[in-house]
Amino acid sequence: MTMRHAVIGGGILGVAVARELLRRDPAAHVTLLEKEPELAAHQTGRNSGVVHAGLYYEPGSAKALMCRRGVALLEAYCEEKDIRRVTCGKVLVALDDDERARLAGIERRALANGVPGVRILSAAELREIEPHVAGIAALHSPSTSIVDFAEVTRALAADAVAAGASLRLGHEVTAIGRRGAEVVLAVAAGGSTTDIAFDHVVACGGLQSDRLAAMAGDDPDPVIIPFRGEYYALRPERRSLVKGLVYPVPDPRYPFLGVHLTPRVDGEVLVGPNAVLALAREGYDWRTVSAHDLAQVARSPAFWRFARHHWRTGVRETAGSLSRRRFVAAARAYLPELADDDVVPGRAGVRAQALDRDGGLVDDFRITARERLVILRNAPSPAATSALAIAEHVGSLVAASTRTEDL
């Protein structure tokens, strides 16, 4: 029996899953449905491009395991397809003794996860690697690299189409139902809606993941709250201030990492991001407002519980969004030579932040499988790095479901 699979979502995860399903079963019919007219339109095409090495993640967690597996697969894929990937390295910079103390714990996690070459640097050693960066110590990850994930997505899509996948852009899934053993998707395109039946459906909806889950009758939690991350970019003549990735030491008291400096493969150097509540799920500036999306946030008990704990962080992040001076001052703590006029407005992205019912951040990947449906409920960073490993895992879930049905 020829299997009919649908994959919802044309970001790197959806495209990687479509490719993986055909790698496992070349006879399958795989249809990828993406509501936008292009692939990688949202999180995939608007992220920083960092190929994460696996420094922070709890050893044994899905993030840790899939990140390390994903790095290996991604590096091999980029070499095979001649996709430019730059191993620029990364330093986590400690500004005080408390942050220096936290470096040791991160180093232990990194080593447990198998990250190669990590070591703690003195201030003098930091200056050798990043001459313009200030700090009293740092953790160095020499294997961390950067890539254009949209380019990777397009290459994966070409592989999937060559293997027989049907790629349908501008096709939005508006309902998910059942008809006997089939999963039926209502798909809107060109002003009309058509019901299409499949044997299995994989939802990789990113910012829309909780809505797709609700359509399928899945648990309402976790909910997605959109947080916009805004960047500035160094002027071309100031890009030499950094050689690689310059990050703060994560503070467990705060939900977001904070401003850092990120070179990209095209030569641009990003400064940011902040994290402010987006006024629409796909709202990349203050002018884009969705009453529907805001109403969903306002009705979410999880959001209000989160806000009660982190309102001070929210005020600080919003102030940085509205003031270039404040934004640059946060980066200047690491790069003292940075002046306010060394930056220009850059890109923005929206992070699909999943919150549990108690208002806590869902940190690890969360993937649910039920009755011919696999739904990626939470796939934050390092999901792009981990995409090929996540696709392997999803492929295994679909294969297991198929074997069960054949019994």
Domains and CATH numbers, the chain: 4-45+150-222+363-406 (3.50.50.60), 87-145+226-355 (3.30.9.10)
Looking at residues 109-137, what average pLDDT do you find?
Answer: 98
CA distance 246 to 262: 7
Q: Is 301 helix (H, G, I), strand (E, B) or coil?
A: helix
Higher-pLDDT residue of 88 and 403 is 88
Gyration radius (Cα) of the chain, Å:
21
Would you say 160 and 33 are in contact if contact means Cβ atoms under 8 Å apart? no
Q: Is the pLDDT of residue 403 over 80?
A: no
Predicted pLDDT at 349: 96
Two structure tokens written together for 176: 């998910």
pTM assigned to the model: 0.96
Position 64 confidence tier, pLDDT thresholds 50, 70, 90: very high
Looking at residues 126-145, what average pLDDT do you find?
Answer: 98
Residues 6+ apart with CB under 8 A from 400: none
The helix/strand count (H/E) of the chain reads as: 10, 21
Position 320 confidence tier, pLDDT thresholds 50, 70, 90: confident
288 burial via Cβ count (<10 Å: 0-12, 13-18, 19+)? middle
CA distance 237 to 305: 45
Position 405 confidence tier, pLDDT thresholds 50, 70, 90: low
Which residues pair with residue 351 across a beta bridge? 227
pLDDT tens track for 238-279: 999 999 999 999 988 777 888 999 999 999 999 999 999 999
Looking at residues 177-182, what average pLDDT do you find?
Answer: 94
Looking at residues 150-164, what average pLDDT do you find?
Answer: 98
Length of the chain: 407
Q: Is the pLDDT of residue 407 over 50?
A: no
Residues above pLDDT 70, as percent of the chain:
99
Predicted pLDDT at 115: 98
Looking at residues 162-187, what average pLDDT do you find?
Answer: 97
Q: Is the pLDDT of residue 170 over 60?
A: yes
Long-range pairs, 109-113, Cβ under 8 A, ≥24 = 109/55, 109/56, 109/57, 109/58, 109/59, 109/64, 110/53, 110/54, 110/55, 110/56, 110/139, 110/141, 112/59, 113/54, 113/55, 113/57, 113/59, 113/64, 113/67, 113/68
CA distance 371 to 18: 19
Cα distances from 382 to residues 264, 365, 387, in angstroms, run 16, 9, 8
